[in-house]
Amino acid sequence: MKEFFKKIPAIRYEGPASQNPFAFRFYDPDRVILGKPMSEHLPFTMAWWHNLCAAGTDMFGRDTADKSFGAEKGTMEHAKAKVDAGFEFMKKLGIRYFCFHDVDLVPEADDIKETNARLDEISDYILKKMKGTDIRCLWGTANMFGNPRFMNGAGSSNSADVFCFAAAQIKKALDLTVKLGGRGYVFWGGREGYETLLNTDVKFEQENIARLMHLAVDYGRSIGFTGDFYIEPKPKEPMKHQYDFDAATAIGFLRQYGLDRDFKLNIEANHATLAGHTFQHDLRISAINGMLGSIDANQGDLLLGWDTDEFPFNVYEATMCMYEVLKNGGLTGGFNFDSKTRRPSYTFEDMFHAYILGMDTFALGLIKAAQLIEDGRLDQFVSERYASYRTGIGKKILDGKVTLADLAAYADKMGAPKLPGSGRQEYLESIVNAVLFG
Ligand code: XUL
Ligand code: CO
């Protein structure tokens, strides 16, 4: 078997002092944190599209990286070379999951029957590669945004034929996900949105997206898919306005259309920040609604207003993410690095450095989040902040024992309420710093 990353050894944990560029400094898979090994807390996942397909093309310039893996692009030989390279990559890093879009796996043909035959061939090949390894599929999805037919979306398209084509792609992508033992199936509503209300029937489009999702659920369950479906919220880009704007909007949509039993959310850091939220905010909103399912691990650049999909480096953000994940009792999905190396980082070594960075950042986030929870001061502060609801009038409010008139009478007697206690934000931030760097 050809080795693609010859100069790169298997990546091992060597500790924070290590200066070996091909070693983990924080990700120590067997280290037990809050009763579970790191590797179980952190089901790290390779995104097929960024790692094996994207080669640096942007709006202003062509590829900088060579991702041909020794084969001619657009051929099945190339598709198989990507599988070989991907498995070598995952094994060397100890990554146990991958995610894919249908068209990441094979070149799309003009005729869907031909594309599907190619998908059958490549998934047989992937299955063979999986044998004897502990590498599994995290989730699959259908790319319903790249091809020109999807210029107006898939479920939201004005064309019923395009809706049918999307259905056909979803059906096949679900078949593949089940065949590869995927834990989940993702809907990122790539172009499910609008450019102008002058030509758009928003109600009709949203109902049709829900229709397509119901059809997907019915089909998925009929072929034995027991995992979660996920919506991946994003506010904009490519569409000016996307329907799954953020976690709260997506949850409202799922409930409105009766999809909330089968779906959870796949929260992407850079999508949350594009929506004007922190990553932690969208994780919290998902978690308190019982809908935090999976994570697309990356980060944006707050100086740039677009989806830069950078490898996570921000330890504060990763810590607060892991804080939410630990409090959620983990994920049904995993941590998919929907991240790409910067365009000038174009070598195979950079691909490894990027994953080492991302995995170490989340490992550090996990260690620090566990310490914050064990420290207990944040939790204690929050609990005390709401203490006025545990006795007296507060307790009566929670118990549903008072009317608005009762409360008004209480207020009449009370005079002006005392100011609520200090929020102590700066003190709490200093605790976070002390735990991170103390
Ligand atoms: C796009 C994005 C997608 C989804 C899968 O912003 O995040 O790659 O994760 O379609
Ligand atoms: Co994503």
Tens of pLDDT, residue by residue over 73-117, are 999 999 999 999 999 999 999 999 999 999 999 999 999 999 999
Q: Which residue is catalytic, options 28, 84, 102, 104?
A: 104
Which range of residues forms the domain containing residue 356?
12-375
pLDDT in tens, 195-251: 999 999 999 999 999 999 999 999 999 999 999 999 999 999 999 999 999 999 999
- The enclosing domain of 140 has a CATH number of 3.20.20.150
- The verdict on residue 4 lying in a domain is no
Same domain, 232 and 152: yes
pTM of the model: 0.98
Same domain, 270 and 410: no
Same domain, 348 and 429: no
d(CA 204, CA 196): 15
Q: pLDDT at position 168, please?
A: 98
Residue 101 designated active-site: yes
pLDDT in tens, 349-369: 999 999 999 999 999 999 999
Ligand 1 atom 8, closest CA: 338
Q: Count how many domains the chain has.
A: 2
Distance 187 CA to ligand 2 centre (A): 10
Same domain, 401 and 273: no
For a substitution probing ligand 1, which of 177, 296, 299, 310 has the most ligand atoms within 8 Å of its CB?
296
Ligand 1 atom 5, closest CA: 188
pLDDT in tens, 170-199: 999 999 999 999 999 999 999 999 999 999
pLDDT in tens, 245-288: 999 999 999 999 999 999 999 999 999 999 999 999 999 999 99
Same domain, 36 and 184: yes
- The mean pLDDT value for 284-303 works out to 98
